Structure 1
Amino acid sequence: MNEWCELDKKHFIHPTSSIQQQQEKGPKVIMESGEGIYLKDIHGKTYMDAMSSLWNVHIGHGREELAIAAAEQMKTLAFSSAFSTFSHKPGIKLAEKIASLAPENLNAVFFTSGGSESNDTAIKLVHHYWRIQNRPNRRKIIALKRSYHGVAAASTSATGIPEFWDMAGTTIEGFSHAASTYRSNTESAISALREKIEAEGPETVGAFIAEPVQGAGGVLIPPEGYFKEIRNLCDEYGILFVADEVITGFGRTGRMFGIENWNTVPDMITFAKGVTSGYAPLGGVLVSDAIHEVFKLKSKGTLFHGFTYSGHPTAAAVALKNLDIIESEGLVDHSHRMGKKLLKGFKKLKDEINIVGDVRAVGLLGAVELVKNSETNEKFPQDLKVAPRVIEALHERGVICRAVTYEGIDIICFAPPLIINEGQIDELLTKLEESILEVKNDLVVR
């Protein structure tokens, strides 16, 4: 272990991690294998992966079917460029498949390597859409506070969590953020967005981008009717609506795409994560037939945007097998049913433990909020680090999940693989209860 730790500290700069913590303590854990909803480290300790690693291992770990699909594709055509209209069967098949799963009238796909690239691409496509219609002034993008859209230049600027702006000291101009839906009703949330559009100037706004459920912001589920009104508002002002489905796509919320929970059809959908269950890097942007028609009629010459791995044939083959498993094993419906059980367990914890505040879930995407006073939602002092301490208590019990502590809140997020069963949910809930009570008792002692 010491050898691996020293090599890690010397050579591996970790994403979204404390470099100082890594240098002082080494890697928190070094994983070696995975099977189903579990991971095993190099010491042989097993962990329940209650976050699907990064919200993305939908079909669970260790699925040999995907390894076989990748190997077979590599033997035939491991890689071939999609630039200059070159194409290949896996890319064509996958584009067709995703279009068949998407909400109506979203039938064309631009492929990327992941979520950040997908949202950057959507923003560039928005700009291109307006420019080729001689309306280049419509460049502004409005997002929500506490949203997360990625870490590339434009997607960082769209992200509504200031910590991500501070890292490099700057963001791109032309991005603004309306109030989040957190503890808000539809009327006030829509009013806030309307005010933002009017303040920016409707004729300068190209698109509004939002996650159906804000993931990294704390699993924030919008109030009923919110996205219906968003669609109406965007139509009123002639603004494109981009749904960021990087986390919520492919069954995570109990529907194939998260926005379907609110019977709303956006103009673009960005995706990644669950499309391959993390077995290969892949993402993309779905565009509406109306946008595609504008591109076909007015986008002259070369579309100067693309990535080396756009439509990577091996990644596409992996995605096709992954989507086949999601459909053949009924994992979208399973996510819906298991999500109801998970939420029922969360509500029981809220009834029994007085530091458990709001609890929520849609499909297998859920959160438990910890508060000093559950009747008033009074927050704990930040220096107590309540959510991180619960995360550590869960880790000791062999459960991996995630804390969100922006703006002094204490939220525990959950997104287990879609294959989780009832017994495993009971196991997760038991360990969560034990961990919360341990931290609560420690707070009382203090």
Structure 2
Amino acid sequence: MTRSNELVQELIDLDKKHFFHPTSPIKQQQEQGPAFIFTEGKGIHLFDVAGNKVIDGMSSLWNVNVGHGREELAKAAMEQMTKLAYSSCFATFSNEPAIRLAAKLAQVAPGDLSVTFFTSGGSEANDTAYKLARHYWILKGKPNRKKIISRTKSYHGVAMGSTSATGLKAFRDFTNSLAPDFLYVDHFSSKSLLETIEAEGADTIAAFIAEPVQGAGGVHVAPDHYFQEVRQICDEYGILFITDEVITGFGRTGKYFGIEHYGVVPDMMCFAKGVSSGYAQLGGVMISSRLYKEFTELSNGTLLHGYTYSGHPTACAVALKNLEILEQEHLIENAQFIGQELLKGFQWLHGERYIIGKVKGLGLMAGIEFVKDQNKNENFSTPVSPAVVNEAAKRGLICRAVVLDGQDILVFAPPLTINKEEIGKVIEILNDSIKAIEKNVFESLATKE
């Protein structure tokens, strides 16, 4: 529904004056105001105050897996709120939605991951995993095992611990006082992990954390056998293996959880985003039955960690309905099938547009790299993916640029409800967007080189 010009301008002015936007250019916010003011979502589409309709090619933040405007989820929230909107889960208090969701997660998670600690989101989930790993070694009488190893190009969140674990340097440079005892290894090299463990001493390492597919870092799919080798190394040196499934969980990659593609089971698994498709704030950490048994046997006091909204009844009720939709509508299988169509489309673009380098992805998370020369795989000195993002937005498609750590990548993660015809529209808009700016932008940049 289109709003009046006066109302739109009022919202822009209020936004510029009062809303400090997350992960946004501050000067651009003040000078230009919000890029979109969304008022409605339906399926894969979003609508703004000016009446514009755009394809949400990122599921907003990789998380609206079942699509926008699902009345079933609104109804689940309303029904739970009218009974019990919120109650604490401290001091062993509980509620039925949290219990049911924990049981459901145990049913669908890989291997013996069977116990869940709930949080409000992904950053909290990752911070929780680091604290649980370190506390585990304290209980085991090995308090020196406190270092957490992560990978380059990784993203694990923006809380203090998760920022410190993030392998993208720009996020760490945002603050001048990182948490100690975080290390980084090459994102595709199990040898790098092994060498770091041996250099630091295994008796100082608490855990290793990895995304099954690196998302915000540029959609990097690990080489064959990488995670099998990682699991073997962690087992050999007694190091806890944590997977960060905040983006890759709940069907995004074409399986319930991304790590299932690799045939290994972690000791802990962090999740958020797709568990509720963004309809309620929810995350958590799943731990193995073996690990939980040891926590139970070795603990003799209170677990001094928890969030106000851990096990939030309404959020858990929404998540239960969300998982029901994923399964009943076969959206995980759709992600696998339609993801192949998306990659085919990207491969076609690679042949049509000379500045496209590697295309990659798994399920419905995919990326396109931009290069000056496909044969040499060289990047432009000034990244061009932001220009493509802007052009695509004008034509009705939201996507995202990754320009961190010397990368120039366009990434996509549409809702799992997307169909073949809609994928075709995405490819059409992308082709037109890149074609529209090739002559004006890419050739001028090449000349400057």
Higher mean C-alpha displacement, 194-203 vs 142-151: 194-203
| Residue correspondence of structure 1 range 87-106 to structure 2 within 5 A | 87-106=94-113
- Between the aligned partners of 1:429 and 1:264, the Cα distance in structure 2 is 34
Q: Equivalent residue for 1:44?
A: 51
C-alpha distance in 2 between matches for 1:213 and 1:322: 23
Matched with 2:171 is 164
Aligned residue for 1:176, secondary structure, equals strand
1:443 Cα deviation after fit:
3.1
Partner of residue 370, structure 1: 370
Give the secondary structure class of the aligned counterpart of 2:221.
coil
Cα offset, 1:444, TM superposition: 5.5
* Alignment partner of 1:406 out of 380, 404, 407: 404
**Distance in structure 2 (CA, Å) of the matches to 1:245 and 1:54:** 14
Report the alpha carbon displacement of residue 407 of structure 1 after superposing the two structures with TM: 2.5
| One of 116, 119, 127 as aligned partner of 1:112 | 119
What pairs with 1:1-400 in structure 2 (closer than 5 Å)?
1-181=8-188, 189-382=189-382, 385-400=383-398
Distance 2:285 2:328 in 1: 24
Deviation for aligned residue 1:221: 0.4
Distance 1:237 1:55 in 2: 34
Partner secondary structure for residue 442 of structure 1 = helix
List runs of 5+ in structure 1 lacking aligned partners.
182-188
> Residue in 1 aligned with 2:437?
439
CA drift of 1:254 comes to 0.1
Partner Cα separation in structure 2 for residue 281 and residue 240 of structure 1: 27
430-439 or 314-323: which moved more?
430-439
Residue aligned with 2:416, SS: coil
**Preserved contact between residue 386 and residue 439 of structure 1 (Cα < 8 Å):** no
Distance 1:133 1:85, change over 3 A: same
The letter for the 2-side match of 1:396 is: K
**Cα distance in 2 between the residues matched to 1:47 and 1:307:** 36
Native 8 Å contact 2:220 2:361 kept in 1: no
* 3-state DSSP of counterpart to 2:214: coil
Identity of aligned residues (%): 54
- Per the normalisation by structure 2, the TM-score is 0.96
Q: Post-superposition shift, 1:352?
A: 2.2
1:144-176 Cα shifts (integer Å, max 9, x gaps) = 011000001111100011111122212111001
Contact 2:384 2:442 in 1 (8 A): no
Separation in 2, partners of 1:392, 1:180 = 30
With the length of structure 1 as denominator, give the TM-score of the two structures.
0.97
**Cα separation, 2, equivalents of 1:127 and 1:408:** 33
Q: Deviations for 1:249-268, whole angstroms, at most 9, x for unmatched residues?
A: 00000000000011111100
Q: Counterpart in 2 of 1:421?
A: 419
Measure the CA separation in 2 of the matches of 1:348 and 1:10. 44
**In structure 2, C-alpha distance between the alignment counterparts of 1:207 and 1:369, rounded to whole Å:** 32
The secondary structure found in structure 1 opposite 2:270 is strand
CA contact 1:107–1:289 (8 Å) conserved in 2: yes
Deviation string 1:55-109 (CA, Å, 9 cap, x unpaired) is 0000000000000000000011111110000011000000000111100100000
Tell me the distance in 2 between the aligned counterparts of 1:387 and 1:322. 33
Q: Tell me the equivalent position of 2:447.
A: none
Structure 2: how far apart are the matches of 1:238 and 1:434?
A: 52
- Name the amino acid aligned to 1:159: T
Alpha-carbon contact 1:251-1:335 (below 8 Å) kept: yes
Output one character per residue of 1:235-288: Cα deviation in whole Å (capped at 9) or x when no partner: 111100000000000000000000001111110000000000000000000000
Aligned Cα root-mean-square deviation (Å):
0.8
